[in-house]
Amino acid sequence: MDASVQARLDEFIRHHGLRRTAQRVTIVTAAFSKDEHFTAEELFERVSKVAANTSRATVYRTLGLLVEAGLLREIDLGGNPTTYDPNFLNRPTHNHLVCIDCGRVVEFEDAHIEMLNECVTRRLGFRPIRQALMIEATCEQLRTKGRCPNLIATRLSGKRLRKKR
């Protein structure tokens, strides 16, 4: 899988007359080393552990490149900084559900939704390119049983909850 990412990057680089630099390889590797979403800063930190000389500016520039190349996608789960999702290569049509109790993000695919979006788009006189669906929801277990399995996991992972709306 990582091999295919590098291959696609190389393809893009060749096709556009760009250079295959050590920094770009390092950054791509770091970006796809987990399936977690990440911010520019988080990626910079990951990269710094492997190649301490890489600059923040290059991370930002490479992120732009990877988005252009279609390897990464910016997603909006509400709020800055920009979050990047490395999972669109494997699941090009997935969507996001955010639990507002615990901040946990669930990725899911649904062919029905896909198809409906497509129909709606055509009815409006457009040709769909892509769509982003973000669902905000509460955990049913928390409501009925008083505890949210995700909430516990989230606390353990040390991530901060999103700003309260």
Q: CB 84 → DNA: shortest distance, Å?
A: 9
d(CA 55, CA 64): 15
Q: Does 49 bind a copy of itself (CB under 8 A)?
A: no
Q: Which does 112 bind (CB under 5 to 8 A by kind): DNA, a copy of itself, none?
A: a copy of itself
Helix H or strand E encompassing 30: helix 22-31
Q: Which does 61 bind (CB under 5 to 8 A by kind): DNA, a copy of itself, none?
A: DNA
Q: Does 135 bind a copy of itself (CB under 8 A)?
A: yes
Instruction: Determine how many CB atoms are found less than 10 A away from the CB of residue 96.
Output: 19
Helix H or strand E encompassing 35: none
Among positions 7, 22, 116, 153, the unique one binding a copy of itself when judged by CB under 8 A? 116
Cβ burial of 27 (10 Å; 0-12, 13-18, 19+) is buried
Pairing of strands 95-99, 83-85: unpaired
Contact positions with DNA (CB under 7 A) in 11-50: 13, 17-24, 39-41
Residues 6+ apart with CB under 8 A from 147: 141
Q: Which does 136 bind (CB under 5 to 8 A by kind): DNA, a copy of itself, none?
A: a copy of itself
Among positions 53, 131, 138, 157, the unique one binding DNA when judged by CB under 7 A? 53
Q: Does 58 bind DNA (CB under 7 A)?
A: yes
Q: CB 130 → a copy of itself: shortest distance, Å?
A: 5
d(CA 25, CA 18): 13
Q: Does 155 bind DNA (CB under 7 A)?
A: no
Please state whether the peptide bond connecting residue 128 to the residue before it is cis, i.e. omega within 30 degrees of 0: no
Q: CB 98 → a copy of itself: shortest distance, Å?
A: 9
* Contacting residues toward DNA, per CB under 7 A: 13, 17-24, 39-41, 53-58, 60-62, 64, 80-82
